[in-house]
Amino acid sequence: MKTISRLKRSVAAVLLASTILSGGGGYLAARAFAADSAPLAMPAEQSVAPAIRPSFADLVEKVKPAVVNISTTEKAEARQRGPQQVQPGSLEDFLRQFMEQGQRRRGPQHALGSGFIIDPSGYIVTNNHVVEDATKIVVTLDDGSEHTAVVKGRDPKTDVALLKIESKTPLPYVAFGDSDKARIGDWVIAVGNPFGLGGSVSAGILSARGRDLNNGPYDNFLQIDAPINPGNSGGPIFDATGRVIGISTAIYSPSGGSVGIGFGVPSNLANTIVAQLQKGGKVERGWLGVSMQPMTESLAKAVGRKSADGVLVAEVVPDAPAAKAGLQQGDVVTMVNGQTVRDPRDLATQIAMLKAGDSAKLGVWRDGKEKTLSVTIGVQPTDQTAALNDAAGEEGKVGLSLAPLTPELRNRLGLENGVKGVVVAEVASDSKAEDSGVRPGDVIVGVAGKTITSPTQAVDAIKTAQREKKEAVTLLVMRNGTTYYLALQLA
């Protein structure tokens, strides 16, 4: 300790001596530098003191008639809407999707959410998770009138849904704004139906953007500090001009209620999705056909790049657009049509926004050089699921829904490129699959000793065992990196 103290005094003496030796010249230089710079601040005439913030009453009065309450009735096995707890210790532990899976109850379930009218003929935007399990949807307008709604289209990957109600008169509506022009620190207004209390308004600011909640491959959420709560799901987030720049979707909350951090789907993303849903009832995304992984500083150095921007191609799907364009495993994709690619989410979003048949220019780093590849964008394969929900009747159902192992799912599950199989998308409650220990997220790589590569193949193998009156069939399952057998009960 004494040595450290003496060293500190020595350093201090050197610094003091340097100041003295520099004389007046050093002092004058410091003063001159300070005179040429100024602290960051707004001019006085542009500042708004908290005590004189403008009222939002006129804005709210203008847009509130276009905001609706949504009530749904769901089948007994549907998810009861309520805040969900996820893996302890992870970021998701504090992210509560509105109206997510909770306790199961017998009998029909009821849920509440919000939405907003975007067309005078009765088109309404909300969240997919508000209506995905609904057997009946009732929309209550600001004037108290109730209308039965039908789902015109849903997009689970962005959590956006489009509803339609019929009205004899034109309805009040609002328009999407430009979420890309919204700046961090701008005022925002959230309108919705928190806790089923009816139309409520809260104000705050846009506090961050580009948030990834690990909810899907296209996560790019706006973060706001305007209080939003369960029931606000699907409600609009307005800017100061009354344009919708976001859709309330999730909250950060250890308790299930608002702690002042909420997340919304950006309007520029939602607007594109809604247009497709309104036109054809479904969303078609551009597809490249690669398995991606983010770059790191170490990987960048290993491939001779100065920057860690870009996406490393871990696998190229055979006969996919990327393969036909000459993209190779180990390439680093750095640009799409002149736009920089920073990470896998960036690449996925940029490609998804393109249409099938579009030609795109990919900036690629290969063998220490930049090169450009031309690729014709394909249509993203639909994540078709095969179900065994009613194979043995309601009381003895298998209760298993399977999805193909896409590159996106492979990345999210952390699987090696050579792993083949199908993903368990859903396990119904009180089903044979649940009783047998099958879980959502399991990868089934074999059924009855046969390798499985598609959901249809797995379903056919299980149904064959049923027809043969077998009491059980073996499933070779991969879970958390470990492979073992389960006996799927059939009798």
Cα distance between residue 419 and residue 301, in whole Å: 29
Residue 82, classed as helix, strand or coil, is strand
Residue 380, classed as helix, strand or coil, is coil
Inter-residue contact 114 to 72 (CB < 8 Å): no
Inter-residue contact 310 to 365 (CB < 8 Å): yes
Rounded (5°) CA angle 76-78-82: 115
- Which residues are paired to 287 by β-bridges? 378
Contacts of 442 (CB under 8 A, 6+ apart): 423, 424, 477, 478, 479
Identify the CA nearest to 63 among candidates 207, 217, 224, 244: 244
Identify the CA nearest to 154 among candidates 71, 286, 287, 276: 276
Pick the catalytic residue from 129, 133, 258, 346: 129
Inter-residue contact 262 to 94 (CB < 8 Å): no
Inter-residue contact 174 to 66 (CB < 8 Å): yes
With residue 198 as reference, give the H or E element that holds it.
none
Dihedral angle sign, alpha carbons of residues 385, 388, 390, 395: negative
Q: Let me know if 233 is a catalytic residue.
A: yes
Which two tokens mark 5?
A: 């103290």
> Measured between alpha carbons, how far is residue 350 from residues 27, 270, 275, 337 in Å?
53, 14, 17, 9
Place of tokens 């009783």: 435
> Measured between alpha carbons, how far is residue 195 from residues 161, 190, 258, 336, 418 in Å?
21, 14, 11, 43, 47
- Which residues are paired to 336 by β-bridges? 339, 362
Cα distance between residue 134 and residue 81, in whole Å: 11
Q: Let me know if 147 is a catalytic residue.
A: no
Pick the catalytic residue from 71, 179, 202, 233: 233
Cα distance between residue 302 and residue 296, in whole Å: 10
Pick the catalytic residue from 159, 239, 346, 442: 159
Which two tokens mark 353?
A: 């926004």
Determine phi and psi for 185, rounding to 5 degrees. Answer: 105, -15
Identify the CA nearest to 65 among candidates 152, 191, 247: 191
Cα distance between residue 270 and residue 276, in whole Å: 10
* Class of residue 293 by CB neighbours under 10 A (exposed 0-12, middle 13-18, buried 19+): middle
Residue 440, classed as helix, strand or coil, is coil
Catalytic residue set: 129, 159, 233
